[in-house]
Structures are given as C-alpha cells and as structure tokens.
Structure 1
C-alpha cells in the first residue's frame, strides 16, 4: 500500500518500488511530460494555517 507524505520541503513516497514508479508516472502525466520533482513539491504544498 503506497503512502504519500507531503510537507513544505519534502515529498516522500513509501511503498513497493512498482507502486512508487506508478505514482510518479501518474504525477508526471497530471503535470505534463517533463515536470521536475521540485515543481511537484511546490504544487503539493499544503495551505499554511496561521495568524
């Protein structure tokens, strides 16, 4: 079972190798063919709650 952890400076996939490859390919398809991982991280940042 693939798990995805997202923080402001880190994107972590935990699972079997084929699950991680599949998830990365899906993210790549959603964001265009040649999207670097850094762009995925900036797109996936959770909204900050603050004052």
Structure 2
C-alpha cells in the first residue's frame, strides 16, 4: 500500500557525475530523494512532499 499518488513519485536513472545537482534540483522542487548506486549511475526515487 502506497501513501503517495503515482504522479507524485519519480524513479530515474541519474549519471554519477551529476548526482549532486540532481538531488539539489529535486529538493528545491519539494521532493524527498533516495538514491542507490549501481556501477557508475544511481537509481533515484523522488517523492513529492
């Protein structure tokens, strides 16, 4: 059971070289971000607060 609507959740693959900018940008847009490292990239889940 999910507490957020699907439209308020984004799962994205982010290049490791831009991960800091990605997290900063999503945070400014009001998202909580969780990332997992896979080789050179990250799988990030952003949930609208």
| Band the TM-score falls in, shorter-chain normalisation | 0.3 to 0.5
Considering Cα pairs closer than 8 Å and 6+ residues apart, tell me whether 1 or 2 has the greater RCO.
Answer: 2
Flag the structure with larger Rg.
1
Structure with the larger helix share? 1
Q: TM-score, normalised by structure 2?
A: 0.35
Q: TM-score, normalised by structure 1?
A: 0.34
